[in-house]
Amino acid sequence: MNNAQTLLGASIRALRERKGITQENLAAKAGISYQYLSGVETGKENFSVQVLEALSSALDVPLSQLVQSAYEAKPTEPPKLNPRFFRSGVPLPDGLTLTQLEDAINRTQWLIHRINRNLISEAGQSLRSFIQGNNFSGLVSNVLTDSFDKLSSYKHNNHQKYPDLIQREISASPRKRVGLEIKCTINIGKGGESHNGHCGWHLVGCYQFVEQDEIEFVHVMIADLNGHDDKYPHWKYVGSKVNESTGSQRTETYVTNLKGTTALRDGSVYVNTERVSSTHWKQERDGEVPSWSIFSCALPTTPG
């Protein structure tokens, strides 16, 4: 029995059953007999490209998707962070650990992976085809924020105000809770963006699109930034700008100045040096380069 026949036949059957279509109805739509369709689904009957095209049309899926699903012998795995590229000396907000950070990012990559798999299977297109640009990064930011809520002591700010996350009280004594603002971007090494330029902890996760529009985080920065009204601010006001090529309007009103961007780059807690080069990054600061800074030590690399 031809292996391709068997794989394609099984794929046709799985798609038909998922859509709740009987053999009789699918055969009628494709212009073949249901006895022949039964043989196709079990791999016992030969079929032409024209028959495959007719069946994919009747199933309302692209032919390429039908073939792809046949040859996905096992589910593809989502990207995962490489623990080698974490920098353990970087200061983190109170109560946040590298393990929690790793788990939250891996969960985010896994969720986007699952959404992509379902969309490609059902619609023949990835999430990136439906949501683009800043809107996609906003979605990734929201998923990462939720992952921190699920996997760390930093929980959603129920009032939907700055910051995105507030540390849950872990002691009986009254104290100020620590906040954490989350932003994601495809621009590696980029500084922070904010609606208000507040002080506090900010995390910027930089990701890339990889095979089949999966996302993989390659650079994560975290720092406790000064507010725009501080004596030594880390933010500058830029207002709301319109993208001349797309007509879309940005909602951010503050971006980090070079000192703020330097503080974030100092706090590069995860750097995949197979994908990221920091040699061209500029820096400006008040005082000495901190010992944990990306600018003060050699970054880990993968042998070979």
| Together in a domain, 165 and 40 | no
Q: Band the pLDDT of 4: cuts 50, 70, 90.
A: confident
Q: CATH number of the domain that 249 lies in?
A: 3.40.600
| Together in a domain, 234 and 256 | yes
Nearest to 189 by CA among 210, 205, 202: 205
The answer to whether position 102 is within a domain reads: yes
Domain boundary among 11, 38, 71: 71
Q: Band the pLDDT of 57: cuts 50, 70, 90.
A: very high
| Together in a domain, 235 and 162 | yes
| Together in a domain, 38 and 166 | no
pLDDT in tens, 80-113: 999 999 999 999 999 999 999 999 999 999 999 9
Domain boundary among 41, 71, 101: 71
- pLDDT for 172 equals 36
Q: For residues 93 and 177, which has the higher predicted lDDT (pLDDT)?
A: 93
Angle of the 133-151 helix axis to the 98-123 helix axis, nearest 10: 130
Residues of the domain holding 64:
3-71
| Together in a domain, 215 and 111 | yes
Residue 3 predicted with pLDDT over 80: no
Q: CATH number of the domain that 26 lies in?
A: 1.10.260.40
| Together in a domain, 107 and 189 | yes
Contacts of 301 (CB under 8 A, 6+ apart): 273, 274
The answer to whether position 77 is within a domain reads: no
CA distance 222 to 215: 20
| Together in a domain, 59 and 120 | no
Q: Band the pLDDT of 155: cuts 50, 70, 90.
A: very high
Contacts of 191 (CB under 8 A, 6+ apart): 204, 255, 256, 260, 261, 264
Number of folded domains in the chain?
2
Residue 15 predicted with pLDDT over 80: yes
Tell me how many degrees the CA angle 94-100-222 measures, rounded to the nearest 5. 55
**pTM for this predicted structure:** 0.73
Strand order of the β-sheet with 154-156 is: 154-156, 165-167, 179-185, 200-209, 215-225, 268-271
